[in-house]
């Protein structure tokens, strides 16, 4: 029986109930965005935002903040313990304009070794281990040479450890380029997930990704300035009609304090109190919603 690796240790898949598949909890991109809105950490405000989701049966968060993004695994462990939630933390690098120097300097082999170490030994001198390789990213309409090196190193680490691998597709782009790398590296697509596909308006491309056997994420739910809410709903309904209910997962990708519900933003809870009711009203049965929220994340996150 496979296990899911959380910041507090390995657990059985059935421990996870509703799971947000792509989130940020301890996070800092202020050095890239030049503002303080993009700093998240263990504060009462953030804890309250997370707790709102528990009323809807959510007890698990996949925290895809990686090296160079302000990752703080100690804070994640303390939050997981205090709030009685499961948090899966990540190893990896994001995208080129956020990479720390080591992503450029290290070879593919050295990067793979680093990722494997954070999955099997621990992160930043702790015993806290990564349970996912994420969010491995490409740039907007481009997958750079260094990003390709990181992708291939991530594939090596995935094959060596069996850890799941989740990607960042900037504004929904470059999924096919990512797919071609995965195909050439012969990964286990049952443990691969393409991110931000709700920002990809090309449904044929989404179907191509799904036909590989991989998962795709509708993970920017609530970010309606990027794509209107109703369009996201319609897109998801179309994929469900095509029979892909076993390969879809959901999240909101909250990266700013201004997105908190208490700050009049959508909050993590938007998925549960706004998006899912609209899916139900459109005729999506609870059984299918359970698949997207519970069963699919359990299968994806379980080490191969």
Give the mean model confidence (pLDDT) for residues 191-210.
98
Number of helices (H), then strands (E), in the chain:
13, 12
Residue in the block written with tokens 């519900």: 261
The per-residue pLDDT of the chain, averaged, comes to 98
Q: Which of 183, 32, 35 is nearest to 94 (CA)?
A: 32
The pLDDT score that the predictor gives to residue 206 is: 98
The pLDDT score that the predictor gives to residue 293 is: 98
Q: In whole angstroms, give the CA distance from residue 166 to residue 133.
A: 6
The pLDDT score that the predictor gives to residue 126 is: 97
Residue in the block written with tokens 């303390």: 78
Provide the pLDDT confidence category of residue 99 given band limits of 50, 70 and 90.
Answer: very high
- Is 12's pLDDT higher than 80? yes
- Is 1's pLDDT higher than 80? no
Q: What percent of the chain has pLDDT over 70?
A: 100
* CATH entry 3.20.20.140 includes domain 4-301: yes
**Sign of the CA dihedral with 10 first, then 14, 20, and 25 last:** negative
Give residues with Cβ within 8 angstroms of 137, minimum separation 6: 93, 94, 95, 147, 167, 168, 169, 170
- Is 232's pLDDT higher than 90? yes
Provide the pLDDT confidence category of residue 167 given band limits of 50, 70 and 90.
Answer: very high
Residue in the block written with tokens 């990809």: 200
- Is 279's pLDDT higher than 80? yes
Q: In whole angstroms, give the CA distance from residue 155 to residue 133.
A: 9
The pLDDT score that the predictor gives to residue 202 is: 98
Per-residue model confidence as pLDDT tens digits over 118-136: 999 999 999 999 999 999 9
Give the mean model confidence (pLDDT) for residues 201-227.
98
Diameter of the chain by CA atoms?
51
Provide the pLDDT confidence category of residue 70 given band limits of 50, 70 and 90.
Answer: very high
């Amino acid at each position: 029986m496979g296990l899911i690796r959380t910041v507090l240790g390995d657990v059985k898949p059935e421990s996870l109930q509703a799971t947000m598949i792509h989130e940020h909890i301890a996070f800092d991109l202020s050095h890239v965005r030049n503002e303080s809105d993009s700093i998240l950490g263990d504060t009462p405000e953030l804890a309250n935002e997370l707790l709102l989701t528990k009323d809807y049966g959510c007890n698990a968060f996949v925290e895809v903040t990686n090296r160079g993004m302000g990752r703080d695994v100690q804070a994640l462990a303390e939050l997981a313990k205090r709030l009685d939630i499961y948090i899966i933390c990540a190893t990896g690098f994001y995208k080129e304009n956020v990479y720390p120097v080591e992503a450029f300097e290290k070879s593919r082999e050295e990067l793979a070794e680093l990722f494997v170490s954070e999955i099997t030994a621990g992160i930043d001198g702790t015993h806290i281990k990564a349970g996912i390789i994420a969010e491995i990213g490409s740039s907007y309409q481009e997958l750079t040479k260094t990003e390709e090196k990181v992708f291939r190193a991530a594939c090596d680490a995935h094959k060596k450890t069996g850890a799941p691998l989740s990607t960042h597709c900037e504004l929904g782009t470059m999924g096919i380029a990512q797919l071609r790398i995965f195909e050439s590296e012969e990964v286990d697509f049952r443990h691969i997930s393409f991110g931000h596909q709700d920002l990809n308006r090309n449904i044929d491309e989404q179907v191509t990704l799904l036909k590989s056997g991989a998962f795709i994420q509708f993970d920017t739910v609530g970010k309606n300035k990027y794509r209107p809410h109703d369009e996201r709903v319609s897109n998801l309904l179309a994929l469900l009609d095509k029979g892909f209910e076993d390969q879809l997962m959901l999240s909101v990708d909250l990266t700013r304090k201004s997105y908190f519900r208490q700050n009049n933003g959508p909050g993590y809870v938007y998925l549960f109190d706004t998006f899912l009711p609209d899916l139900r009203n459109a005729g999506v049965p609870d059984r299918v919603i359970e698949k997207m929220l519970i069963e699919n994340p359990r299968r994806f996150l379980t080490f191969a």
